[in-house]
A and B are shown apart, each in its own frame.
Chain A
């Protein structure tokens, strides 16, 4: 089963078209293996991106370097998945 230990989901609220373009550039950055849950489209909609544990540092640096405001939506994805799984098992019992 695929695990997401240490992966974070980050919400970014772009404030300008320029920042949207910076985030769109991230979409093409294959090396960091980002998964966009909500893609960068316009300033009115937040951008959610799952960042693998190994890419957290460079991604955070990128966001800080470009003054892209962000917050952590999910601090450890696997923890949330474990909770969900435990709850399902409890329910099945």
Chain B
């Protein structure tokens, strides 16, 4: 059965195949706005698809990825809802329309497809990639410790059996390398946002160092305003700050890499925590979570649009 964008249930978790099929239908329904592009293959050979929202050529761009950690299912589900929101609001939401009339938006809904499939088939609590670690019985690398940003530093493990194993080298994970190559070859990304769950945090660089980045005051101010917008819907309270101080030192993270690559507006979100479910947030909370997150994402993107650099 082919799913249409009308028939997919956004208040449900879906398999990789369903999400990928749904992407096709979204593209079919919004041909002048959305395209599905393969950015490469995962370790186990699965395609990695990014949805590109674009109304012109040679535009500066915003990057959003969801679900780099496989078990954080509300992240991928939020990505699906968000993609639909962008496609359906374009043309009716004046602010979003103006954004997409001047910038492109790339949305990678399943940033770790092998891990995501593994959470559906073998181990719901799997976090990492599924690459083989030579000399170890344990598989997988934490793809958010594998970026070339203080790689191998504090907050990452040298043990392949650890959930925060950084891998043998920076960008050793093809899932990371695919994104790095796309961002680098594009050369005009102005914002990079990674969406995780759960902890209710909105963070900016650095994680590999506790020193402040040069843009800290602006990033902090944007982050706090975004968190305020998010809270306006259901009162969900976020903490805002740099990764190192708000959680703990964590080297090799995606937004540290993007910031050091010159993408000033680099943020990471940790979606909602009800204090009852951890990674197993009930599907009934997907839409509320995505809806409140959208307000924060939109605020950040509007700031990016209005503050060219």
Which of B9, B123, B248 has a CB less than 8 Å from the CB of A39?
B248
Q: At the interface, yes or no: A4 with Cβ under 8 Å from chain B? A: yes
Chain B residues with CB under 8 Å of A9's CB are 278
Would A91 and B199 count as touching, CB distance under 8 A?
no
Chain B residues with CB under 8 Å of A38's CB are 199
Mask, B103-133, CB within 8 Å of A = 1, is 0000000000000000001111100000000
Chain B residues with CB under 8 Å of A91's CB are 9, 12-13, 283
Across chains A and B, the number of contacting residue pairs, with CB separation under 8 Å, is 54
Interface size on A, residues (CB 8 A): 24
Q: At the interface, yes or no: B275 with Cβ under 8 Å from chain A? A: yes
Task: Knowing A73-B276, A87-B283, A88-B13, say if A81 contacts B124 (CB, 8 Å).
Answer: yes
Interface size class on chain B is 20 to 34
Q: How far is the CA of A90 from the CA of B104 in the complex (A)?
A: 37
Q: How far is the CA of A88 from the CA of B277 in the complex (A)?
A: 17
List B residues at the A interface (Cβ < 8 Å).
9, 12-14, 121-125, 163, 199, 239, 247-248, 275-280, 282-283
B208 vs chain A, min Cβ distance (A): 16
Would A80 and B121 count as touching, CB distance under 8 A?
no
Which of A2, A80, A81 has a CB less than 8 Å from the CB of B122?
A2
Q: How far is the CA of A77 from the CA of B279 in the complex (A)?
A: 11
Task: Knowing A2-B122, A39-B248, A41-B248, say if A48 contacts B12 (CB, 8 Å).
Answer: no
Q: At the interface, yes or no: A37 with Cβ under 8 Å from chain B? A: yes
9 contacts between A and B (CB under 8 A): A4-B125, A37-B278, A41-B248, A74-B276, A84-B282, A88-B13, A88-B14, A91-B12, A91-B13
Mask, A1-27, CB within 8 Å of B = 1, is 110100001010000000000000000
Chain A residue nearest to B249 in the complex (CB): A41
Chain A residues with CB under 8 Å of B125's CB are 2, 4, 35, 50
